[in-house]
Amino acid sequence: DVSLDRVFIGSCTNSRLEDLRAAAATVRGRQVASGVRAMVVPGSGLVKVAAEAEGLDQVFRDAGFEWR
């Protein structure tokens, strides 16, 4: 077992829109564990706008992620 205290989804190469869609599908209906800090940083402003238009930001927020 591995214990986590931070989760980061992002960077310029690992947060394309299709990556965020896949991560949101995994996160949907789940919650970040107590004591874990989780954040998502889209790879660009355009990706952020597109993800927000699809409601992906809310999926992450509902799960307890910070959306940057």
CA distance 45 to 32: 25
Domain contains 1: no
Domain contains 38: yes
pLDDT by residue (tens digit) across 37-67? 999 999 999 999 999 999 999 999 999 999 9
Domain contains 44: yes
pTM: 0.92
Domain contains 60: yes
For the segment 19-28, the average pLDDT, to the nearest whole number, is 97
Domain contains 45: yes
Domain count along the chain = 1
Confidence bin at 12 (pLDDT 50/70/90): confident
Report which secondary-structure segment, H or E, holds 57: helix 56-63
Domain CATH number, residue 40: 3.30.499.10
Domain contains 20: yes
| Residues 36/65, Cβ–Cβ less than 8 Å | no
Domain contains 28: yes
Q: How far apart are the first and last CA of the chain?
A: 29
Q: In what order do the strands lie in the sheet with 6-10?
A: 6-10, 37-41, 66-67
Residue-range definition of the domain harbouring residue 52: 6-67
